[in-house]
Amino acid sequence: MDSVDVGTTAAPRHSSRITLSRSALAANLRFLRSKIGPSPIISSVVKANAFGHGIEAFVPMAEHAGVRHFSVASSKEALQVLNARGHDGRIMIMGILYPEDLPWVIGHEIDFFVFDVDRLRTALRVARAVGRPARVHLEVESGGNRTGLTDEPFGEAVRLLRENPDALAFEGLATHFAGIESLANQFRIVVQQQRFRAFERRVRAAGLQAKLRHTACSAAALAFPETVYDLVRVGTAQYGFWPGPDVYNMHLSQTGKERDNPLKRVLTWKTDVMDLKHVAAGDFVGYGTAYQAPRDMTVAVLPVGYSDGYPRALSNRGHVLIRGRKARVVGLVNMNVTMVDVSDALGVDVGDEVVLVGRQKRNAISVASFSEFSSALNNEFVSRLPAAIPRTPVS
């Protein structure tokens, strides 16, 4: 028997793979720039592993497209961006920041939100010990009731900034809108904008000025120009997803078109046919009795399941693409296996490429189509894609 040189064999493969389109990302950022104008900074929101696209792969792509500012949810994600980036852009932490991480954060000149005075006091002490100023963004409570400084703590935070300019760099004044992607929430958004402007007036009255004011997310940047200040925090839209149907309909109204979609999906997800099974009429497919064959069928077995991020809610509902044709999921989506009906797709064979999300020939499976059969939002679905799936940038 011939020996195999294990040193020259290819690395073991994952059961699925993700590609990321550089041209789609560039197009999305150009469209966003056309909406917000030339001046505001675009901060690429790459929390949740870049919304499932993969920080390691996505950050260099965004840099290539001109992005020099990244927003994350934790110091751990800040480290991932720091390791992935190739330029000296800014990193901003919007969420959890443990006190023991502050020396590292301040030492690496990473910006961070302050939404309670204790964090600011601790940052002041650490900044003096480290010998570098803490780069802080005051997040104010404008009506979302999630995180943010209320009136009295805000006054104390402003006092600390005014009295310690050498140790506390006032980088930003920010707030977070509570569901601006839905027109049903507009009565809240109006109040939030008024409250943010009131906080801004208090800053000026104290003789201070933040370097950057920012309130706008993807939805606000696309639909509400009055929310755009010095920086916009863009997540959903840069990945090619509309924040919601109301924002998309507002875009159509502004353009006067019945159909128009300038946002391009960055992510494509694929796997391969693992096995083929001929099923007789009346037999059940997979676990339990969720699906009984109404006729003689050919079923393709795919090596992905809910542990790989393919939602169990797509059992007997979802579709994939094989040889350019849609194949419906039959039976329950298992932990690592999903079955699809290929009875009418002639010539399907083991090893054929399967598109889970993306385009194949003239058909496409969109991320939005997943939410037709489950309560998952676009962002929820993609952010749950396991980090172990390899992500590869393509043109």
Task: For residue 377, give the DSSP letter.
Answer: -
- 262 belongs to a structural domain: no
Q: Which of 47, 291, 306, 326 is catalytic?
A: 47
**pLDDT at res. 1:** 55
**pLDDT at res. 373:** 58
State whether 241 and 278 are in the same domain.
no
User: DSSP per residue over 8-76, as a string?
Assistant: SSPPPPPS-EEEEEHHHHHHHHHHHHHHH-SSSEEEEE-HHHHHTT-HHHHHHHHHHTT--EEEEEEHH
State whether 87 and 114 are in the same domain.
yes
State whether 297 and 202 are in the same domain.
no
User: Where does a domain end: 222, 255, 288?
Assistant: 255
- The Cα 134–Cα 279 span in angstroms is 65
- 291 belongs to a structural domain: yes
State whether 75 and 181 are in the same domain.
yes
- 1 belongs to a structural domain: no
**pLDDT at res. 371:** 61
User: Token match 């010990």: residue?
Assistant: 129
**pLDDT at res. 296:** 97
The total number of structural domains in the chain stands at 2
For 328-346, b/e burial (b = at least 16 CB within 10 A) is ebbbbbbeebbbbbbbebe
State whether 158 and 306 are in the same domain.
no
Query: Rounded to an integer, what is the distance from CA 195 to the centroid of its chain?
Result: 28
State whether 201 and 236 are in the same domain.
yes
Structural domain harbouring 239: 22-255
User: Where does a domain end: 225, 255, 285?
Assistant: 255
User: Where does a domain end: 255, 286, 320?
Assistant: 255
State whether 193 and 334 are in the same domain.
no
CATH at 271? 2.40.37.10
- 145 belongs to a structural domain: yes
User: DSSP per residue over 314-360, as a string?
Assistant: GTTT-EEEETTEEEEB-S---SS-EEEE-TTSTT--TT-EEEEEEEE
**pLDDT at res. 145:** 84
- 260 belongs to a structural domain: no
- 261 belongs to a structural domain: no
- The Cα 135–Cα 132 span in angstroms is 9
State whether 250 and 291 are in the same domain.
no
State whether 175 and 208 are in the same domain.
yes
For 55-64, b/e burial (b = at least 16 CB within 10 A) is bebbbbbbbe
Q: Crossing angle of helices 22-36/55-64, nearest 10°?
A: 60
Q: Which of 76, 257, 287, 361 is catalytic?
A: 287
Per-residue pLDDT of the chain (395 residues; tens, 9 = 90+): 566 666 667 789 999 999 999 999 999 999 999 999 999 999 999 999 999 999 999 999 999 999 999 999 999 999 999 999 998 899 999 999 999 999 999 999 999 999 999 999 999 999 999 999 999 999 999 888 889 999 999 999 999 999 999 999 999 999 999 888 888 888 888 999 999 999 999 999 999 999 999 999 999 999 899 999 999 999 999 999 998 888 988 888 888 888 888 999 999 999 999 999 999 999 999 999 999 999 999 999 999 999 999 999 999 999 999 999 999 999 999 999 999 999 988 889 999 999 999 999 999 998 877 765 555 577 888 999 999 999 999 99
CATH at 83? 3.20.20.10
Q: Is the model's pTM score more than 0.85?
A: yes
- 79 belongs to a structural domain: yes
- 109 belongs to a structural domain: yes
Question: For the chain, what's the residue count?
Answer: 395
**pLDDT at res. 375:** 53
**pLDDT at res. 7:** 64
State whether 73 and 216 are in the same domain.
yes
**pLDDT at res. 2:** 64
Look up 287 and say whether it is catalytic. yes
Short-list 345, 348, 270, 276, CA closest to 310: 270
State whether 224 and 290 are in the same domain.
no
**pLDDT at res. 4:** 63
State whether 275 and 221 are in the same domain.
no
Look up 306 and say whether it is catalytic. no
